[in-house]
A and B are shown apart, each in its own frame.
Chain A
Amino acid sequence: MGQCLRYQMHWEDLEEYQALTFLTRNEILCIHNTFLKLCPAGKYYKEATLTMDQVSSLPALRVNPFRDRICKVFSHDDVFSFEDVLGMASVFSEQACPSLKIEYAFRIYDFNENGFIDEEDLQRIVLRLLNSDDVSEDMLMDLAHHVLSESDLDNDNMLSFSEFEHAMFKSPDFMNSFRIHFWGC
């Protein structure tokens, strides 16, 4: 795994990234460095891509039970460009606005990508959180029903985006915990 061509980021690019994302200068430069170390040799950083596996194995994401969903949501055509990585770090940064976090959280939790978090999604979320396979079926269903009874407002057995958003706005812990600190910056 060689290194990308070591081009310094242009000042205008840095300014643009600062304007378009929630990251600070230092964070962008940190991510730039790490990206350069990981991407294939001989390519300009703006054209290089990382595979989903490479991004999943980063220390920040390695322990996250939802890393495959995160990679799926933020990548395009199953690869990560530098800007995809920046976009991901921006959503998970501290300064990101709550609406953005909720939007992407919804996409991450929507396993079957039908635009709603339904019972199947909820059960898969719980299984991921528990990280074990010997969970009884009825406990999963019970939990899914509990979540839906709390948050499902129009009684259609699914959480639409508005319902999810409503539930998350009620819990301030969500904003604080939906953060990933990338690359030790």
Chain B
Amino acid sequence: MLSDDWVNEIVVEVENVPSGAESRPSSNQIFPERTRVKPGLGRRSPTERVESQVFRRGSDTKHHQLLQLSTALKESMSQTHHSPECPGIDTPCTSHETAQGQKLIASLIPMTSRDRIKAIRNQPRTMEEKRKLRKVVDKEKSKQGPRALEVACCARCLHTFSLVYQRSKNSVSELLNTTSLWQKTLKVIGGKFGTSVLSYFSFLRWLLKFNIFSFIVNFSFLVIPQLMVAQKNTLQFTGLEFFTGAGYFRDTVMYYGFYTNSTIRHGSSRLAYNMQLAYLFTIGACLVTCFFSLLFSMAKYFRNNFINPHIYSRGIAKLIFCWDFTVENLSEIRLENTKLTFHQQLTRLSAHVEPWLVSTGMAIACCVAVYYLAEYNSEFLKTHQNPGAVLLLPFLVSCINLAVPRLYSMLRLVERYELPRHEVYILLIRNIFLKISIIGILCYYWLNIVALSGEECWETLIGQEIYRLLLMDFVFSLADSFLGEFLRRIIGKRFITSLGLQEFDIARNVLELIYAQTLVWIGMFFCPLLPFIQMITLFTMFYVKNISLIVNFQPPSKAWRASQMITVFILLLFFPSFTGVLCTLAITIWRLKPSADCGPFRGLPSFIYSVYRWIDTLSGRPGYQWVVWIYHNLIGSVHFFFILTLIVLIITYLYWQITEGRKIMIRLLHEQIINEGKDKMFLIEKLIKLQDMEKRANPSTLILERREVEQQVPLHLGEQAAAPDLRFRRSFQEDNQKV
């Protein structure tokens, strides 16, 4: 989330010289301005605000943090003490006559114009000053111009070309921003409800991108070739197909069973399109892209939110300084830092055992119920010919998904957690356990029972089941938003007004999204058009949830760390969900026998057999030996993976050790800062004592000295615009503004 597109780096030290102090420790005398020291100084440390703006020169790194600050404590030691008035930030030190202004200009001149613009933009100054700075730099640059003109004119051409390119890139990115999906709506939501609720909608949009990509890939590589050799659909179309997915849809491109196993040839040309390989590789490509996208997002969020040794401090500072939270319950915050004895911790833990047992028991009971119903369902369907009867299982699963999380939330009323954050995490864990177990049980049922049951075209059956599950989930979500939340609002406003409006339960909603996406990923193999359906679902849910949010909800009152929660959500999406999908598909492809009559893999002993056969045919052809070599020695070979794993483990171990070393380094540096602070205090006290002694010793010469000082100071401070006191500072400010 940090804007980080710095390419060039120059270390510039721009000193904000506090009034009264000289920046160059050339003369080590202590100026008699010590008389201006205010008495209450013992508390304040005369830390100069030295800002160094770090611009990095190095074209390889694109992501880099901006600032490194260093305090010039040592310099302040050899100088006079300043009045505790911090100089106005927009003051004198920034004019082009000052030394630090000169430094800044000198650093800006050699930069390319793009970086110069960025550097100037990042300065914390008023527009007027930035404009002046730009003019001055341009003037200086043009002074050096005559020399620069000797550079070959193609360099100038390149320069103008890069300018044009930059401008067009800017306009294109602006265009993209304006057409980016739901940009404005998200901003409104973020403004009204905070970044936590916004994170749900951003997550939804991100999942939508996955689905759009999968749909496009599937459509281009699977559906279109299949449509070219499609067979006529002889079934009748009734309206019920939208819900059951069976009937007319069975013989369409929607399901696995419709796809041909032949090699499609276009006319008499030699172009051959092997549907078997295309099917496997397309689904594989979708999943691999999702995998890398998830991995990189997770790594990025992880890096920003977790891997920073001090981050584990929960941080009241964030609550105080961030604008997302309305701090209502302060006592919660105070409790975070109390430590408990072991015995207290144990008693506290044991109080939680019961609710955990209850929740786990409920989850297991639901799984068992689902399993038995699934088994019973198939017999039930054989006896009852009603096409709508297939909806029973999805209906039950959706009911479980609706009711049990709310029961878990009610458990929360019974058990007490000290930290609201723990509550959220526990709720999240329980819900994810429930959802993953249900999906797990269903997968087990499908792969072990349905696939082996000898039914005709079991893949299509599984595809239809998943379609129905998704659809029922969608219907329930709609009903929940339209009816449930609406009713809750009516109750909260009219009947039991003490309840008030409800707050958006982010965890539950995100888990529903994750659940649906898991089903889509599993079902993509059996029903290639499933991403399209999920696309429509997500699209609709966005608008429904948005409207429901505005009408039925109030902004959250509790502190919620949005960026940490997003990291947790992506982690959940990756770890139980995506890896589960990969396991399921792996079992399907390697272990199961495709059905004999339908689909691209009919008649083969296993799905992966098509790849084996392909490799065999390739080894017959002379030009493709390298593919065969790669397959045998890199993909199919155990040694390769063993060595690879070993290397990865070694690298991980080394990085871990580096991290440990850095933690120690941070601790040492922290101690060093504290020590330097103590040194500073000590020296200041000594300074005050010396000044007091001098004052007592020479009260008369003091007045003369003062006058001398007031004459000396402008001379010494000369080019620096540091103003010893307010009087000087104000007049200089006026001068500055006239310029």
Binding site for B on A (CB under 8 A): 16-17, 19-22, 24-26, 64, 76, 83-84, 86-87, 95-100, 102-105, 107, 109, 113-116, 122, 125-126, 129-131, 135, 139, 142-143, 146-147, 150-151, 153-158, 160-162, 164-165, 167-178, 181
Contacts and interface: CB of A to CB of B under 8 A. Distances in A.
B316 A170 contact: no
Given A126-B327, A158-B44, A113 B86 contact: yes
B49 A115 contact: yes
B563 to A, nearest CB: 5
What are the 4 A-B residue pairs with the smallest beta carbon separation, nearest first? A115-B86, A154-B677, A83-B127, A177-B324
A173 B324 contact: yes
24 contacts: A19-B134, A20-B130, A20-B134, A21-B121, A22-B121, A24-B174, A83-B127, A87-B126, A100-B124, A113-B86, A114-B84, A150-B313, A153-B674, A154-B674, A160-B49, A167-B318, A170-B315, A173-B318, A173-B324, A173-B564, A176-B1, A176-B195, A176-B324, A181-B190
A156 B681 contact: yes
B3 A170 contact: no
Given A97-B3, A146-B334, A155-B674, A174 B318 contact: yes
B235 interface: no
Given A122-B320, A147-B317, A171-B315, A176 B563 contact: yes
B10 interface: no
Contacts of A16: 131
Nearest to B90: A76
Contacts of A168: 317, 321
A83 B127 CA distance: 6
Nearest to A18: B170
B563 A142 contact: no
A104 to B, nearest CB: 7
Q: Which of A21, A84, A131, A176 has the most CB of B within 10 A?
A: A176
Interface string B104-122: 0000000000000100111
Contacts of B562: 173, 176
A84 B66 CA distance: 24
Nearest to B126: A87
Given A21-B121, A87-B126, A114-B85, A99 B673 contact: no
B67 interface: yes
Interface of B: 1-3, 18, 43-45, 47, 49, 51, 53, 65-67, 69-71, 84-86, 89-90, 117, 120-122, 124, 126-128, 130-131, 134, 174, 177-178, 187, 190-191, 194-195, 304-305, 308, 310-311, 313, 315-318, 320-328, 330, 333-334, 337, 561-564, 670, 673-674, 676-678, 680-681
Contacts of A178: 322-323
A146 B317 CA distance: 8
Contact of B122 (A19, A99, A142, A153): A99
A164 B29 CA distance: 33
Given A160-B49, A162-B71, A174 B322 contact: yes
Contact of A157 (B43, B53, B71, B315): B43
Contacts of A177: 194-195, 322-324
A37 B569 CA distance: 44
B317 A167 contact: yes
A100 B126 CA distance: 12
Contacts of B321: 105, 109, 125, 164, 167-168, 171, 174
B627 to A, nearest CB: 45
B318 A171 contact: yes
Contacts of B563: 172-173, 176
A11 to B, nearest CB: 13
B328 to A, nearest CB: 8
Contacts of B187: 181
A172 B324 CA distance: 12
Nearest to A175: B1
B327 A130 contact: yes
A165 B67 contact: yes
Given A143-B316, A150-B315, A103 B124 contact: yes
Contacts of A161: 49, 51, 69
A12 B195 CA distance: 36
Nearest to A26: B178
Contacts of B195: 173, 176-177
Contact of A98 (B3, B131, B670): B3
Contacts of B66: 97-99
B316 A147 contact: yes
Given A25-B174, A161-B49, A175-B1, A97 B122 contact: yes
A98 B130 contact: no
B585 to A, nearest CB: 34
A155 B311 CA distance: 20
Q: Which of A20, A21, A129, A154 has the most CB of B within 10 A?
A: A154
Contacts of B324: 173, 176-177
B69 to A, nearest CB: 4
A53 B730 CA distance: 25
B539 to A, nearest CB: 24
Contact of A155 (B51, B71, B677): B677
Contacts of A24: 174, 177
Nearest to A22: B121
B332 to A, nearest CB: 12
Nearest to A113: B86
Contact of A20 (B131, B316, B318, B323): B131
Contacts of B677: 153-156
Contacts of A146: 316, 333-334, 337
Contact of A173 (B45, B70, B124, B322): B322
A150 B317 contact: yes
Contacts of A104: 124
Contacts of B333: 143, 146
Nearest to B178: A26
Contacts of A165: 67, 69
A155 B673 CA distance: 9
Nearest to B678: A155
A160 to B, nearest CB: 5
A143 to B, nearest CB: 7
Contact of B2 (A22, A157, A172): A172
